[in-house]
Amino acid sequence: MWFDDRSVTLPSSASGGAAGVSVASTSAGADAGPAHDADAAAAGSSGKKAEKKAAAKAAKEAKKAANAAKQAAQASSVDENDPLKHRYGDAEMIQSKNISGKTWTTVRDLDLTKKDQEVLVRARVQTVRGKGKSAFLVLRSESFTVQAIMFVDDVTVSKGMVKYASNIPKESMVDVAGFVRQPGEKVKSCTQQDVEIQVTGISTVSKTSTALPFELADAARSTKEVEEAKARGENLPTVLQDHRLNNRVLDLRTPANNAIFQIQSGVCMLFREILLSKGFREIHTPKLIAGASEGGSSVFKLQYMGNYPSLARPACLAQSPQVYKQMCICSDFDKVFEIGPVFRAEDSNTHRHLCEFTGLDIEMSIKEHYFEVLDVIGDMFNYIFEGLNKRFKKELDAVREQYPFEDIEFLPKALKLTFAEGIKMLHEAGYTHVDPYGDLNTETERVLGKLVKQKYKTDFFILHKYPLSVRPFYTMPCPEDDKLSNSFDVFIRGEEIISGAQRIHDPELLIQRGKELDVDPETVNLYAGEGGMLRFGAPPHGGCGVGLERVVMLFMGLNNIRKTSLFPRDPNRLTP
């Protein structure tokens, strides 16, 4: 192809840096009203109606799209009489036949340090606009975009080359060769605003061969942009949440979504870094277990080895690695953590619940006090917050572009309040109905979060010494007040992200608590029965678990956990 054995030196561009244009579309699946991201179930009735409407529209346009694709294929063919035909066209299918030694530059790395350098970039065609003897493309890779420009000069760019580029279907993958130029003014429609690519060659690596279910520009449109347009009397299309999730492969390409999952990866990386530095070791516990891991009923039940009748027996998917974390502590692992899937068969159609999520779990032995666990948690989250702000600024900016949010506020030393202190703040604010020996509901948690933010200037805090009656049977009672417990919850922006506690490590006390709460004896025996883990001398210990998706959602102030779950599983969604 054009970049195999040819290198061209061009004069500096004087194009003026016209920005690539992204025209609002009314494609199938787009909603002419404001974006639908309510905190209610993802599968609301309005969403279902919109889905049917979108499907009907997509079917109606399928034939039209096929004809358009045929015409585009004809328009994008290479002119065999063009002396510059080696500079453009469809690339040979990549089947790992050879290694050329070429070097590709990422869109992320295109900046003024590469001014006037020749580069080769692989990216998707986000938008393309051809007019006469010129073409402007916006190329996208991950959450980063750059403008590429072409002007016919019959030396490096021909009319056939412009025609070919102008008809490349959106979302196709291309290799683009050219020189990095500094435009006359910033390209405000792209993330790489200070540069553009003056194209010398373009090759389609993988072509979009079907009609898009929605336009990426519509899926990436911010609520602010929609509201501003509405104020001007315009209706801009957006994409409903269900339609996004049904076409998740395309939806994940939006800059904000791509960045969200870079940030999610960063949370896992930082979680590992800080805990490894504190002497923790990573473990991997079973997810197929006999019985319920926490003695609860909200489990996904299955037949283990069900294909073999002689081996078949009841089992379930783990609700938590709780038992196995404690086993590791009793095995003298001292401090452990795990990143793994957690399954909850709960019919909770809310903005913050999933049936499958990724758990970030820790467990550790303690010497004297469960505050040792709280101190690790406080240090851990401060490290994660600081790391995200420093190392993932570009990604956070990409998310903020579509979903504006205020930076999270946190203190150098995590704020710890007793449950009684939290109740007092609520009572003083007029919420006198809150029971000092009951639990907090979602509404009162949010109110408390606002009160803490006003008084202590932090979005992150720990509430501890919860009433014993609202905690699991294995929670250590408080020695000063038998109505309280050595337990805690952790909050971000007024929403609970962690429940944890010091565990009961004395087998007789655990048996007593199991009887008081009428816990299944089989579950209690796993800990304290003959041969149970606590019978061999158990270290005092404590721990907690947190949902990765919820941490990412709340760090960026997003309004629905489905935005931070790669392929969400809730009571109504099992695909894709």
Distances (CA, A) of 333 to 282, 318, 445: 10, 21, 35
pLDDT at 14: 36
DSSP code for 545 = E
Mean of pLDDT values over 119-133: 95
pLDDT at 221: 93
Distance between CA atoms of residues 389 and 156, nearest Å: 43
For residue range 93-103, what is the model confidence (pLDDT) as tens digits?
999 999 999 99
- List C-alpha distances in Å: 168 to 17, 137, 145, 187: 22, 10, 17, 22
Q: What is the 3-state secondary structure (H, E, C) of 66-129?
A: HHHHHHHHHHCCCCCCCCCHHHEEECCCCCCCCCCCCCCCCHHHCCHHHCCCEEEEEEEEEEEE
At residue 27, the pLDDT reads 36
- How are beta strands 134-141 and 144-151 bridged, if at all? antiparallel
Between CA 471 and CA 501 the distance in angstroms is: 9
The CA distance from 88 to 79, in Å, is: 10
Pair type for strands 301-304 and 313-317? antiparallel
Domain assignments of the chain as residue spans, ordered by start? 43-206, 216-251, 255-285+321-505+540-564
- Contact call for residues 409 and 374 (beta carbons, < 8 A): no
State the catalytic residue, choosing from 496, 513, 549, 562: 496
CATH class of 255-285+321-505+540-564: alpha beta
Residue-wise pLDDT for 207-242, tens only, equals: 999 899 999 999 999 988 999 999 999 999 999 999
Whether 118 sits among the annotated catalytic residues: the reply is no
Topology annotation, domain 43-206: OB fold (Dihydrolipoamide Acetyltransferase, E2P) (2.40.50)
pLDDT for the residue numbered 65: 61
Which residue among the candidates 15, 222, 265, 499 is catalytic per the annotation? 499
> What letter would DSSP give residue 564?
G
Q: What is the CA radius of gyration of the chain?
A: 29
CA dist 91 and 109 (Å) reads 24
d(CA 336, CA 272): 11
Q: Residue 313 in contact with residue 290, Cβ under 8 Å? A: yes
State the pLDDT confidence band at 298, using cuts at 50, 70 and 90. Answer: confident
Catalytic residue among 344, 351, 541, 573: 344
Cα 568 to Cα 574: distance, rounded to the nearest angstrom: 8
| Cβ–Cβ under 8 Å, residues 564 and 260 | yes
Distances in whole angstroms, Cα of residue 551 to Cα of each of 74, 102, 382, 564: 49, 40, 13, 9
Mean pLDDT for the stretch of residues 490-516: 96
Instruction: Please check the confidence at residue 360 and state whether its pLDDT lies above 80.
Output: yes
Task: Compute, in degrees rounded to 10, the torsion defined by CA atoms 256, 257, 260, 262.
Answer: -100
Q: Is the peptide bond before 477 cis (omega within 30 degrees of 0)?
A: no
pLDDT at 297: 58
User: Is there a catalytic annotation at residue 234?
Assistant: no
Overall average pLDDT of the 441-447 stretch: 96
Q: Which helix (H) or strand (E) holds 488?
A: strand 487-492
Q: How far apart are CA 181 and CA 149, in angstroms?
A: 10
Kindly indicate the confidence band of residue 539, based on its pLDDT and cuts at 50, 70 and 90.
very high
**Of the residues 253, 550, 562, 573, which is catalytic?**
550
Q: 481 pLDDT band (50/70/90 cuts)?
A: very high
- Structural contact between residues 570 and 355, judged by C-beta atoms closer than 8 angstroms: yes
pLDDT of residue 208: 95
Average pLDDT of 355-362?
Answer: 97
Are the beta carbons of 468 and 478 closer than 8 angstroms? yes
Task: Tell me how crowded residue 67 is: count the other CB atoms within 10 A of its CB.
Answer: 10
Evaluate whether 307 touches 297 at the Cβ level (below 8 Å): no
Residue range 423-436: mean pLDDT, rounded: 97
- Largest Cα span, the chain: 91
Does 496 qualify as catalytic in the annotation? yes
pLDDT value of position 76: 61
Indicate the SS3 state at residue 193: coil
Q: Is 550 a catalytic residue?
A: yes
**Comparing 14-28, 123-137, 190-204, 378-392, which segment has the lowest mean pLDDT?**
14-28
Which of 86, 108, 129, 353 is labelled catalytic? Answer: 353
Q: What is the mean pLDDT of the chain?
A: 89
**Distance between CA atoms of residues 450 and 458, nearest Å:** 9
Residue 539 DSSP class: P
Q: What is the mean pLDDT of residues 399-407?
A: 95
Task: Decide if 344 is catalytic.
Answer: yes
pLDDT given at position 555: 98
80 band by pLDDT with thresholds 50, 70 and 90: confident
CB atoms within 10 A of CB 20: 21
Average pLDDT, stretch 523-527?
90
Instruction: Evaluate if residue 458 carries a pLDDT over 50.
Output: yes
21-70 confidence digits (pLDDT tens) = 233 333 333 333 334 444 444 445 555 666 677 667 766 766 666 665 55
Listed in sequence order, the residues at least 6 apart from 303 whose beta carbon sits closer than 8 Å to its beta carbon are 312, 313, 314, 315
User: Are 446 and 491 in contact, with CB atoms under 8 Å apart?
Assistant: no
Q: Are 22 and 203 in contact (CB under 8 A)?
A: no
What tokens were used for 539? 């270290």
pLDDT on residue 68: 59
Q: How far apart are CA 288 and CA 478, in angstroms?
A: 34
- The crossing angle, in degrees rounded to 10, of helices 322-330 and 521-528 is 20
Residue among 87, 124, 181, 352 flagged as catalytic: 352
65 CB burial (10 A radius; 0-12, 13-18, 19+): middle
Distance CA 301, CA 288 (A): 10
Paired tokens of 342: 């957690």
Q: Which of 294, 346, 372, 401 is catalytic?
A: 346
Residue 18, pLDDT > 80, answer: no
CA 51 to CA 54: how far, in whole Å? Answer: 5
pTM: 0.85
Q: Residue 99: its pLDDT value, please? A: 95
d(CA 284, CA 276): 15
